[in-house]
Amino acid sequence: MPELRWGPLRRRWVIVAPERGKRPSDFRVQVPPAASSPRDCPFCPGNEHLTPPEIARISGPDGNWRVRVVPNKFPALSDGPRLELARQGILRRASGLGAHEVVIDSPDHVRDLDELPLEQVRLVVDMYIERLVALSSDLRFRYVQLFKNHGREGGASLSHPHSQIVATPVLPPEAEARLSAARDFHSAHGRCLVCELVEEELKVGDRVVEAGDFLVLSPYDARFPFELLILPREHGHDFTQLSRRDAFARALKGALTRLRALLGDVPYNFVLHTAPRGTDWPGIEDWYHWHLEIIPRLTKLAGFEWGTGMFINPMPPEAAAEHLRAAL
């Protein structure tokens, strides 16, 4: 029988409906041929002239780049001197001030993070942190969002594996909702919400996929089949202060490896939720706890989801975790 579930991170209901579900093999993805070749790919070595001027890079001992950051050629937001605001009755408008960067994960045209050596994934994590620090230090921006789109259904317009970072002059509603949930929980219970969640999930165990320095789990209120959360077991509000970078790189690579082993080259998004800089949220270092979501794109949103804001998940998280544990 279907059931409704509510989780404290998002404070929204989801419907878990296993009767609508399938076997994991039914979700397995058949990958179409790559849309571009290294010869004409702007992210491949030798084609650096096809991108806007480079922002940052990490080079190897041979002097060649290992990770590269460039401005997005078609940015959602762009640089400008200051934010301009205007009103029209009850409506508001702001200039499109911001930054939109592309992190080219490696020189390899085909291999995604799960297929790269751990050392390379660690370099990508280092670059994430370098760029998040730089953009968060810009007082024009209120929030910086790191995300990755993989596969056509995941929103990737180029097949060469890459991630993106967007800095916005306003606090996005999803970030504000998660911040408010964490603050309110701390005010009511005197504890960090995610620290409490980590303890409870380890105690129950049936949604846990990996339990090293970082907890990888299928969340109780998962919106999508095989959705994953990566939670640091050690409290930390700001991803850029991450000290166990090798361990995080291993957890991220491991989670993506399990998804590929079970589902093939599944399209996905991952999104980082970390504390914004600034003084708008007093005491944030005590009550916020950064986390990363991996969202396989295996189901479609339709009228019910758009109308209600509720998701229907045909794969119970407990079953998803069991399949993912057995995948390796």
Helix (H) or strand (E) holding 145: strand 143-150
CB 220, CB 207: distance < 8 Å: yes
Q: What is the token pair recorded at 67?
A: 């990770």
pLDDT of 21 = 61
pLDDT of residue 218: 98
pLDDT at residue 33 in the model = 53
Kindly report, residue by residue over 36-86, the tens digit of the pLDDT.
678 889 999 999 999 999 999 999 999 999 999 999 999 999 988 788 889
Query: DSSP 3-state assignment of 234?
Result: coil
Return mean pLDDT, the chain: 93
Residue 259 confidence (pLDDT) above 90: yes
For residue 266, give the CATH number of its domain: 3.30.428.10
User: Using one digit for the tens of pLDDT, what is the confidence trace for 83-128?
Assistant: 888 999 999 998 899 999 999 999 999 999 999 999 999 999 999 9
Output the pLDDT for position 74: 93
Residue closest to 143 by CA, chosen among 281, 51, 13, 30: 281
What is the Cα–Cα distance from 31 to 173, expressed in whole angstroms?
34
Collapsed DSSP state (helix, strand, coil) of residue 307? helix
Helix 173-189 crosses helix 193-204 at what angle (to 10 degrees)? Answer: 80
Residue 199 to residues 181, 222, 231, 233, Cα–Cα distance (Å): 18, 18, 11, 9
Q: Quick one: average pLDDT of 272-297? A: 94
What is the distance, to the nearest Å, from the Cα of residue 280 to the centroid of all Cα atoms in its chain?
Answer: 23
Q: Give pLDDT, residue 110.
A: 94
Phi, psi (deg, nearest 5) at residue 48 = -60, -25
**Average pLDDT in the 267-277 region?**
96
- For the segment 253-281, the average pLDDT, to the nearest whole number, is 94
pLDDT band at 23 (very low <50, low <70, confident <90, very high): low
pLDDT of 31 over the 70 cut: no
Supply the pLDDT for residue 22.
63
pLDDT tens sequence across 136-156: 999 999 999 999 999 988 888
CB 170 within 8 A of CB 142: yes
Q: Given this model, what pLDDT does residue 155 score? A: 86
**Gap between the Cα atoms of 194 and 284, Å rounded:** 13
What domain range includes position 157?
Answer: 3-325
Which residues are designated catalytic?
Answer: 162
77, 100, 138, 175 from 85: Cα distances, Å? 15, 20, 19, 21
| Burial class of residue 155 in the structure, from the number of CB atoms within 10 Å of its CB (0-12 exposed, 13-18 middle, 19+ buried) | middle
Handedness of CA 172, 285, 215, 206 (dihedral sign): negative
| Spatial distance between the Cα atoms of 97 and 144, rounded to a whole number of angstroms | 13
Query: pLDDT per residue over 197-251, tens digit each?
Result: 999 999 999 999 999 999 999 999 999 999 999 999 999 999 999 999 999 999 9
Total structural domains within the chain: 1
